[in-house]
Structure 1
């Protein structure tokens, strides 16, 4: 947040709540006055004035990529959708529990929220190719585990720990921060690459899609490698696979 966006990472849950409130005010066409703790608008002690947007009122869907329990509860309470990074169908309740709590607080259910699972998709021809591709995606988590976060807080690692990978994540983080990045990549469990993506033969991917559906995911956000023609071919094949899932 501070290195890339230039925004102080201070009280992130409250900042997210206020951002949603401001979006709702602007998109409804109302004059923008917001008595926020993080974003008081107009800015106090300034020459700024409360302005009314020149837009036709419309509902702007808000999706939150929440991982921590507090932000998940906020998502359940206020958001139109959830972007479930690192979602694993077999451990769905790790995320769905707090989401459900927030939704029920607002008189809603999980069915009122678009539950989105971002997944890399790579369709392989057999076990050897599948294993190599899973390994590639697992090793891709090493940077996330080892380099993200600050002051001992890494929200991804905390989420991975709640998903059951705490010991492995601690080892990867220690290796990365000691400078041995190659060993850190090797230490990432295969299951982090396999269970958070759609990798394998069409039959394997069909079974994984079924698990996402049974867990309650409503949308798969597909991430693809390769040039345009390769990506298009993968999407076409994936559509056929999904269409055949009961």
Structure 2
């Protein structure tokens, strides 16, 4: 089935205020709701509510960090959502970032590849109802068993940006979750993941025809995200290293204003979807035509009411 996802909850909107919007989503052409986890809501609670409000929707975490919960708690959280949305929940996990893991949670951001691999292995066993006692390379588990393992177990997807993680997702997970890419980048990512695994991507959409406003917001977001080392390496791999080098140099020198202005218009236009609602929908569809399985729209401020933006960006 063709998929069309939305990122919820919307910024600054209380969870309970989403009820009527979520109920509308299937009629608007949305098939999926994907959460996020930074400094707002946790990744799982919004999906429990969405499962009740719109039982037709597939639900996914994008992503739950592998460091910030113990292995057993991560399995318990996933099993809870899988129980209330049987067959409709996807557990998206990933390493997150040193800022969140170390700065906000006081944990060590060590061996991200190995931690991801170990977490997938543990979750496969735990969510199948097995009793797990094992020394993994990055953590250990003693005599853990879920009281009510979900039937069926949820799919597991891995946040992945570059070949190593994408190939790990292809080998060990059911798919990969990525973001900050253009339609033209999808074949590069797909080539590493392979044709058999699902590819999900969060796409930043600003439904406005004010190009200057959209580009201004896009520059702020790009300089904030793509200066993070993992995203910088991702775009170096995708071929944007030279175009983004002036931004990186200004950012490293502490000159945020120059870093923003150094981002070329064409880079903003590649990574931020903007325009009329119809133009935005057509642009998102380009990702699918390029090989993306599940586009997940993340609504950016545009001057339009956020609920209305979700409605006009629906596929129907």
Q: What TM-score comes out, normalization by structure 1 length?
A: 0.78
Q: Write 1 or 2 for the structure with the bigger share of helix.
A: 1
Give yes or no for contact 1:27–1:55 (8 Å, CA) kept in 2.
no
Q: Measured at CA, do residues 27 and 72 of structure 1 come closer, stay the same or move farther in structure 2, by a change above 3 Å?
A: same
Q: Structure 1 residue 119: deviation in Å?
A: 1.5
What is the Cα deviation at residue 89 of structure 1?
A: 1.2
The answer for the alignment partner of 1:94 in structure 2 is: 188
Moved more, 63-72 or 189-198: 189-198
Aligned residue in 1 for 2:262: 187
Tell me the secondary structure at the aligned position of residue 21 of structure 1. helix
Instruction: Decide which of 203, 207, 219 is 2:282's aligned counterpart.
Output: 207
1:130 Cα deviation after fit: 2.1
User: CA distance change for structure 1 residues 215 and 121 in 2, over 3 Å: closer, same or farther?
Assistant: same
Residues 186 and 287, structure 2, Cα contact 8 Å, conserved in 1: no
Query: Structure 1 residues 37 and 209 mapped into 2: Cα distance closer, same or farther (>3 Å)?
Result: same
Report if aligned partners of 2:169, 2:175 keep a CA contact under 8 Å in 1.
yes
Match for residue 232 of structure 2 among 150, 157, 160:
157
Distance 2:115 2:189 in 1: 21
Q: Residue 55 of structure 1 aligns with which residue?
A: 148
Q: Which one has the bigger strand percentage? A: 2
Alignment partner for residue 140 of structure 1, among 183, 206, 221? 221
Q: Does 1:31 align with 2:124?
A: no
Which deviations, in whole Å up to 9, do the C-alpha atoms of 1:167-197 show, x marking residues without a partner?
Answer: 2322212111111110011112233332223
- Contact 2:190–2:291 (Cα < 8 Å) also in 1: no
Q: Distance in 2 between matches of 1:71 and 1:192?
A: 24
Alpha-carbon distance in structure 2 between the residues aligned to 1:82 and 1:213: 15
- State whether structure 2 residue 111 is matched by structure 1 residue 11: yes
3-state SS, counterpart of residue 62 of structure 1: strand
Counterpart-to-counterpart distance in 2, 1:81 and 1:26: 19
Q: In structure 2, what is the equivalent of residue 171 of structure 1?
A: 246
**CA–CA distance in structure 2, aligned partners of residues 86 and 226 of structure 1:** 17
Ranges of 4+ aligned residues in structure 1 off by more than 6 Å: none
Computing the radius of gyration from Cα coordinates, the structure with the larger value is 1
- Size of the alignment, in residue pairs? 214
Q: Residue 2 in 1 paired to residue 102 in 2?
A: yes
Q: Which residue of 2 aligns with 1:122?
A: 206
Given candidates 79, 85, 94, the residue that maps to 2:179 is 85
CA deviations over 1:83-109 (Å, ceiling 9, x no partner): 221121112232112111xxxxxxxx3
